[in-house]
Chains A and B, each alone.
Chain A
Amino acid sequence: MTLPTRIAVFGATSAIAFEAVKLFAKKGASLYLCARDEGELKRLSDDLVVRGAKKVEYSAFDALDENSILNAIESCLSKLPDLDGLLIAHGTLPAQKLCETNIEEMKKTIDINFTSAAIILTHISSHFEKQGHGVIAVISSPAGDRGRQSNYVYGSAKGALTVFLSGLRQRMQKSGVRVLTIKPGFVDTPMTADFKKGILFVGPEVIARGIYKAMEKENDEVFLPWFWRWIMLVIRMIPQSVYKKLTL
């Protein structure tokens, strides 16, 4: 299977997405970048042209505004009508405590991490389905595999995303469109700037290389780095009666 060469990236200014699109730019791919900050998109697009991208277009979008998402998708498909790749990398990781008392914050977390991604996926997967090919890669999280008291609002949004992708994968199977769920563990990015960094932390370029390889190898679901698969297996196997007493 060949890698996509005309790719839309949502959350392009995130550290992981930037490292990943660098790899595609090097291969001469055409890119359509979407993120909140237009100035940053310009900065990124200049960089990717120097690195060898064939063409880079971009537009700002707000993940909390459905019209804004639709406009970005429309503009993307008009600029790159033969789009054959999609990477969704935007997300938000708020303080769990805040989500427990502030309903607005909780809803925002679910809308950014799940609803907006589901909207993008619905539109672009239909486009790929008609076209008969395409690769979809979405950054979910191991946090979606089992709820923990320390981040279950974020975790449940990511969990919903994982389930959505699982269903979409089955549906897309027939039309030759691939759907890849990416579950990165702890990554040293601006999103985790306030975290104390332990040995499980890796740089965004490690995750980006993993994404690139997984898109090439026709994986369905990858944990990055690999050891998270085993960590999460153990966590999922803990009986509920024990799990609820743990302070994870």
Chain B
Amino acid sequence: MSNNYYFESWGRFPRRIHLGEIVPQSINTVADSINSVNALVLPRGMGRSYGDSCLNDGGYLLFTRLLNKFVNFNPDMGILRCESGVTLDEILKVFVPQGWFLPVTPGTKFVTIGGAIANDVHGKNHHKAGTFGSHVICFELERSDGTRMICSKDRNADWYEATIGGLGLTGVILWADIRLKPINGPYIEMESIKFENLDEFFQISQESEAHCEYTVSWLDCLHNDGVRGIFMRGNHINKLEKEEMKAVHKNPTWKAFPFDAPSFLLSTVTIKLFNILFYNKQIIRKQRRIVHYDPFFYPLDNVNNWNRMYGKRGFLQWQCVVPVKNNKDAIRTILKEISKSKLGSFLVVLKEFGSIPAHGMLSFPMPGITLALDFPNVGEKLFSLLNKLDDIVCSAGGRIYPAKDARMSGKTFRSSFPKFEEFIKYVDPKLSSSFYRRVGGRNDIAN
């Protein structure tokens, strides 16, 4: 292998040198693959994590792309068994025409089942459905010593809790049983409502919780006099009809971001302009539409490599959650700091999490409000802003999302994920990641 084996995460920051990649051909060769190299290994699916939780500098990445087979489907129970490298994209293509949908989906369908479990991802229906892990009935985990375990709430429950949200460190997930959700067709009845301030947001959010399965908001964070945005809510369409109801999403073919964008495209002025246009695109306050699930859940997936929009230096995502009782003030302070810094973001997302508890020791969601932003990587000024925001989140009792993080301090991580010390006991000695080492995880064996 060459010495310059660079891998990036989706945010393109950081970029790390690895020793190489290994690709097991089937679920029966996973442990052999791990042991075929004499260095630390990290399982990796589609690499859609933004920071360094999908990187393993100085070690190997184990790609699960060939663990991509369905095993069986029970249409009476809606339970799908599939290998861990199967993507949400593939599940939608096969199961939407049969009237099934993912129980929980993040904002991209280019995620593997293994990745969705390892990050215990959440979606726009968190208030109704909890996290992805809540719909994982069981899975088989293989450790580097060749031990295989079936894990569920009742069987090897401690391993189940360590692996859900466990960032791929407890072993390699070979396959999982997922409970799919019956739908009447691929369309979503959605409503978008403009709001002028945070109080209005909380009011609409409260009112939507009971009767809307999906809720999310887009914010214009650079607006001069405070926060404004668009609240989007929706439900699966409730009628059965015609062949069109089987329409799955198409593959993005020609729409790819072809080059690294020059940095002037991402100045404060362009971001501000984008936000103004986006906000004013909708003229009336409230709009109702029927849309296909693809643009509703995955607006960015239609442009391949949209991450190149941020140029070579990449970008940083930052997502926090702040518990219910402190949320209004803390979120206000955070938004004020961002507005003051003028380091705006195209895509600011705000959502209220519900109270269904997550199963994983390191699961991110908690009852409260979550805010996600991306920032072009402009260097030191951005890093000091993010540190300041981390402090506000921590003192409000919240936490930062590891799947999106590239820079939080180990102290911030450990104080906001109190089960981390317990989790360390479950980490496989041959597995590790740049993120794990950065936040203070320990690997017993050296390279």
Contact = CB atoms under 8 A, between A and B. Distances in A.
B28 interface: yes
A216 interface: no
A198 to B, nearest CB: 15
B69 A43 contact: yes
B22 to A, nearest CB: 10
Interface string A40-83: 10011011011110000000000000000000000000000000
A50 B94 contact: yes
Interface in B26-83: 26-28, 66, 69-73, 80, 82
A239 interface: no
Nearest to A47: B69
Contacts of B71: 43, 46-47, 50
Contacts, number: 31
B26 A193 contact: no
A44 B25 contact: no
Contacts of A46: 69-72
A51 B25 contact: no
Contacts of A39: 26, 28
B23 interface: yes
- Size band of the interface chain B makes with A: 10 to 19
Nearest to A190: B25
- Size band of the interface chain A makes with B: 10 to 19
Tell me the interface secondary structure of chain B in the complex: mixed
Contact of A50 (B23, B26, B70): B70
Tell me the interface secondary structure of chain A in the complex: helix
Nearest to B93: A26
Contacts of A190: 23, 25, 66
Contacts of B26: 39-40, 43
Interface string B1-36: 000000000000000000000010111100000000
Nearest to B23: A193
Contacts of B23: 190, 193
A137 B70 CA distance: 26
Interface string A123-161: 000000000000000000000000000000000000000
Contacts of B27: 43
A75 B25 CA distance: 27
Interface in A191-224: 193
Contact of B70 (A40, A47, A193): A47
Interface of B: 23, 25-28, 66, 69-73, 80, 82, 94
Given A50-B82, A50-B94, 14 more contacts: A40-B26, A43-B26, A43-B69, A44-B69, A46-B69, A46-B70, A46-B72, A50-B70, A51-B70, A51-B94, A190-B23, A190-B25, A190-B66, A193-B23
4 smallest beta-carbon distances between A and B, as pairs: A50-B70, A47-B69, A47-B70, A50-B73
25 contacts: A26-B94, A39-B28, A43-B26, A43-B27, A43-B69, A43-B71, A44-B69, A46-B69, A46-B70, A46-B71, A46-B72, A47-B69, A49-B72, A50-B70, A50-B71, A50-B72, A50-B73, A50-B80, A50-B82, A51-B70, A51-B94, A52-B94, A190-B23, A190-B25, A190-B66
